Each structure stands twice: as structure tokens, then as C-alpha cells.
Structure 1
Amino acid sequence: MRSVWGIVLLAGSALVDPNPSLAQQPIAEDNPRAQIPNATPLPPSPAYTLGGGDLVNVNILGLPEYSGQYQIPVDGRLNLPLIGTVSVEGLTLEEASRAIEGAYRQVLRRPQIAVSLVAPRPLNIWVSGEVNRPGSYLMRLTPGAGNIPGVQYPTVVQALEQAQGVTLAADIRQVQVRRFSRAGEDEVYTLDLWAMLRTGDGGQDITLRDGDAIFVPTTPEINLEQTRQLATTSFSRDTELPRTVAVVGAVERPGTYSVLGSETGEGIRAAGLPTATRAIQLAGGIKPDANIRQIQLRRPTITGGDQILTLNLWQLLQTGDFTQDPILQNGDTIFIPTATEINPTEAAILARTNFSPETIDVNVIGEAVNAGSLRLPPNTPLNQALLAAGGFDPNRANRDTVELFRLNPDGTVSQRIINVNLDAGINEQSNPILRDNDVVAINRSGLVKIGDTINTATGFSSNASGFLRIFDFFGLFEYLRLPRRQ
């Protein structure tokens, strides 16, 4: 059950709010309210004012036949016996009692009237700004606890929860409540809900009145640690609800994904939070050349612009800094750039992370001992793929070079000739890291080509399997229907 800070008790004909006026409390130097820039003093809690929809009891002492319950019409005017209509719109219970007494003095000698609230009307509250569902909300007053009859007023936090919580771009230190005063002027109060989270300062969560408008501004500066804390509060969007985000750049399957808190789909099931790394998992994981130190998270705001957060997942891996893996919200875009240089040691570490793909598919065709499709760990270098395919065919393979065919983002296939060095470490020239769907072609040696040519000319084939491997190589691109780029 979500907490409610403001409790208003109804006793007899008067409505009493137990929260004293904050304006009457001394503000200590360490009080977080003293740190709010340009903060308007928070309002004292005024007595309840009547309006259309309230159910009241009008008791005329000594005349029970004229006493009874009345529903106040939308115009705020009660139609009473003997005297007709009396306006009680905007009056407190005590003021309404005096107004009705004054009207009854025309027909009764020294009337004594007591007006009490039987059932309050719902409050109409407007919520706007950095909330997930801005708009107008009807908020009902609920019965108070204890033996004394009373009602419990909705608070700012409850109104934010009704609006499906604040966005993660919200500045909860500067939440504004605009209230129309009886004097005809608007009063604006600035609340620091962060102080409430940090110190338990419940006085920041003021009770609302009918017609109040709440505005949540956009934070001017993003703090990753505070953003993560904000995401888990009761007045943020429920982490179990889905949020739609885009993941682009150096990932296996760029696109739009629905990220859940407890289940991400695509065979990935785990309890947790809808974070950036979970979205990357849905996108198939990072590519081997991803720059995980400069990931950008672009977050839309109500002002129409974007907030940009720079994430460093390497810092997350090295120090456990979970602030680098923020909780996402609807409309976020994650961009993973491409690294200009790959560190072999880091590549091996990244291959074991949960935001790298579990395996990649690599085809080794041509003159290998066990040519075919291989499922390999991510960031597998060329030399390891050759060994996984059984190595070069000792009788037929050209061991000096291989051809690497790679699917490009534009749909074409690039072709490179790699000078093989089985003793080399990971490097782009002789032992590059392979990517998903790469094709490694091992060609015939010069002597084997000559022999195959002679056999073909004379109608014989000394190695039918070699021919079939070559046929499969060209058939692969026929099957994929991809243009080849030399």
C-alpha cells in the first residue's frame, strides 16, 4: 500500500487537518527544504471547502423535520425548507453553517445550524510535465483510520502515481503545485520530492485541493545514480511494465524492442530491471567491434529535445558501477558506436558478457578437413575458426591465404584476402575477429588446381568432394541472393 502523508479528520461539523502549517515551523540549517532555490513556503492546510457533488448533513437544532442530508448541486446552491436556495460553493463547513443560519433568521428565532460533511466529492487534479500520462484525474477522498470518522486527502505523490509516474527525465526537486485561491489569485508551491526520498521529509508531499495543477519540469542535468534511484520509486513507471526502445549501431539485430522488467523475450527469461544491457541482449548482443565505452542513450523530453547520456559498460564490467546500466523509459534510443581499435584482451572479456551474443555462425568452405557451418563463441579470431574446422586439408589446401566474405550493412558482400599466420595474435591483417555469418573460403593449392584442370579435361575427377565444396561456396551466395563485391 502506498503511503499517504496528509490525513484530514472530520469531527462534528469541522474538518481538521493534523499537519501543522509548514510556514509556522522553524527551518533548521540542515533541513532539506532550506536548500530549495526560490521555493515558495509550503501552504498551511486550509479547512475543506464545499462544492458541487459533496453530500452534507444540515442539522437544525430542535427542528428535525427540517433537518436532513443534501447533495450539493453543480452550481453550489442548496435548496432548503422554508428559505429556498442558499449558496455554499467555496465555503468551509463553519462558513456554510453561518450562511444558512443567516437565511433562517428570516423565518426562525435564533436558529442553530450545524453543517457536517457526509461524503466528499472527488477532487479534479491536473497533472502535466514529465509524467508518463499527463492529463486530468478524479481523485477520491478515502475514509480515515481510527474510531473518529474522517477522510484522507490525496497527495502529490498519489496524483503522480495516477499519471503512471514521472519520467526519468523529471526534476523532482522542483515539482510545482498551482492552486487557485479564494482571493482569485493563483498560488504556486515548489516541492522537493528528492528531499522526501533522501530524508523522509513527508512535509513535501502536501495534500491536494480540488482544482490543483501539478507540473513536473525537465531536469537540466542528468545524474545516473539518482536516475536509477528515481526509477524504483512508487511514483515512477512500474518496472514490470513494458517500454519500447530502439537499439542501433554495432549490435547484431538493430531495431525496436519492447523491454520488460521480468522477462525480455527472445528466450531470455530472468527477474530484473528493464535496463540498457537487457535491450542490447534483445538486439542480439554487441558486435565484436563495438565501442562499449561511448554508448549513447538518447531520451526524449516534454520540451521536444533529447537528453543524451554517455554510458561506459566497460566501467560496469571492471568496477560493478550499475549506474552505467540505467533503467530505460519509453522512447529511449541506444546507439552503440564502432571502435577504431580492438584490444584482444578486452575482446575475450566482452565475449563472456551477457550483452554479447552467446554464439555466432561462421561458414568455413573449401579445402578444410571438416568444412561446413560452425557455431563459435563471439569474438572468435580467424585462426581459431580454422582449427575448429579441422584445419587445412593437408593434400589440397592453399595454406598461405584464405578469403573472408562478410555481409555489409548495405546488403552487399565484401571480399578480403587474408595472409594466414597461425602463430599470430588477434590483429586485423592476419588474424581478424570474425563476425556472425562470416564465410571463410580455403582455396586449392596451385598444384591441385593444375591436377583438377587436367582431370576435368580428360573427364576424370580425383577428388569429387573438392568440386562439391567449391559448388557449395558459390551456391551459398546463390541461396542468400546477395550481390558480391570484390
Structure 2
Amino acid sequence: MRFTALIPCCLALLNACSLMKEQKKFDARAQGTSTDAAFTQTKRQEPIHPEWLKPSTKPYTLGPGDKIEIEIIGETGTRADTFVTPDSKLYFDLLPGIDVKGKPTTQLREEMEKMLTRYYKQPQVSLTLREVSSQRVWVLGRVNSPGIYPLNRPMRVLDAVTQAGGLFASSFTGTTEELADLSHSFLMRGGKMLPVDFQKLIREGDLSQNIYIEPDDFIYLPSSMTNEIYVLGAVTEPRPVGFMNEMNLITALGRGLGIRPEADLTHVTIVRGSLTEPKIATVNARDIIQGKATNVRLEPGDIVYVPGSGSMSPGGFLHDAINTFTRLVAANEGNSAGAPNATPIGLNLNIGPSSPTQ
């Protein structure tokens, strides 16, 4: 009787032990627990403005490095080629250094003629701009000759890419499709990405995307061979991280070396696809970390943006994510173009929304 009474107790104990063995400690980074996020397809947030498709009517303004040919008409031996100095000064004949920064050649000519009346009778100045160096366009990435080029004539996006030698072609296939990631290519002006769709422009020949370039525009065509995810925003080190097989959101956040105290983990934004018409998903990473929600799978090229608490700009999290991505890439690529051995930027980059002046 005693032995029979012990049987139910033993069975209960064995079942409890079995359940304890089967129960696994929750790991938010575990690959097998990941699912796909609910993405929403967005539409182009800003159109191509008609004025961008017209050459600028603003006169050229002088700056450091510009070469100018100057002569006082009728005065033998006054013809000279001179350069604007790094501090934006121009030196000619008996005149002291003239500050020419931001002045068109017509204004400079008038000022010189007025100043030269101290030494000549009714002087007439001939002034010709021979070389342009102060106004430039940056063309970097998967082009044959990436670099900084003088903007010495009215130039469109395709003109700038052509000046940089065109898209880099594969030595095996002779094509550029697998080398330039046109969906993540962008043009920045004044710290802001313009809505130029490089896929439509280069692959489909849509010339409505072929806008005119302005001084200091930044064009970047990344490599499609890059297997990275960008972890940006309120993380300890905003940066691109190498994509690993079946990578998920929590793993990617960990590769950003930690979350900053002001991070809003309830609105982590994932941007996927074209920068001009991307897909977007907003994920509550806090629930995932606490085991209340399933982890989310990522794909190469995804942008993971962790906003700061209360930092959303009028354009929303999508605007902030793309703006932070383009600013980080432009800063790193521009830094590398000027100093090839420079340390990549990320830690000290301002991850908040851009100001209205940007």
C-alpha cells in the first residue's frame, strides 16, 4: 500500500524535472525566435522642384584658388595672372589685398577701377576668370575616379558622374548593376538629402531626376557588395555593422555598443529599400528585450534608427533616420576623401534631428 501510494508522487516529480529541462532561458538575441517586421511602403515625401531642373541664374562668386587674368587697358606691362589666396584676398599692381570672398567679377572690377584712380587716370580694368577652384562638387563611391571636381560650368547630376569617370564597371561582366547600389545612392545639399532617385535616373533614364548641381553638392553611390546594417541614433557608437546570417534587431543594437540613456526603445525605426520611397517599420524593442514580443529579422542594407526620447522632428522618425544615415555616410566618405587614413566618424556625430537651417 505504501509503495502504491508513492507512485503518483514519483510520476509528478519526474514530470516536473522534465519540464525544467525543456524550459530555456529567454535570449532576445536568439535567431530562432525572430520574425518579420510589419513594414509599410511609403511614398516620396518631397517632389523634385521645377527650379532644380533649371541652371542657376546667380552670378559666379569668387573664392580661394580661383585664377583671374587682370589688365589695365592701355597701360603697358599691367597684364597679370593672379590667384585668390586662401584668406580670400586678391593682390594686383599697387593695390593692397582686396577681399573678394562672395563677390562676382563685375563687382570686383568696379571696386578695382575705383581704387586704381589713386595711381591711374580713369583706369579701365579687364578681368577674366581663367580657372575655377573655389566652387566644387563631391562625387564619391563606385565611380571610376571618385573625388572633388571644380564646378566650372552649369552641370547636372549625370554630368558630374560622367566627370568622375562614370560608374565603376565589373571587369568580369562589363556591367555596373552589381557594383553600385543605386537604391542607397543620394545627393546632399546644405546638409539635407535631395529626393533624387538614382535608380530611375541611371537605370531607367528618367531625366526628371537629372537636376542641376550647386556648389558643394555631395553625390555618393555606395557599393552593392557592401553587406552591412546601419545602427544609428541614440546608441553608444552609431555606425555600420557587418551583416551576419539571420541577424536580428537585438543583435544589431548590441553591435552599436549599447543604448544611450535617452534612447526611446519603444519606437525603434527600421528603414528598408530605396531612400526615396522606402519601407518603414516601427518596433517596440523594449518589449522584445523583456520577452513580451518576438525579435525581428533584419536584411543587409537596413537602417536601424533608435530615436532619443522626445526628439522626433516634424518630418517624423523616417525623416530623422534617413537624414542621420546620409549625414553619417557623407561625413565618413568626405573625411576619407580628404584624409584617407582618417578615423571613421560615428561616436561624436550629432544624432538628433537636423535644424531648420540644415
Q: What TM-score, normalized to structure 2?
A: 0.39
Structure having the larger proportion of residues in strand:
1
Q: Answer 1 or 2: which has greater helix percent.
A: 2
Question: What is the TM-score when the length of structure 1 is the normalising length?
Answer: 0.30
> Which of 1 and 2 has higher RCO (CA within 8 Å, sep 6+)?
2
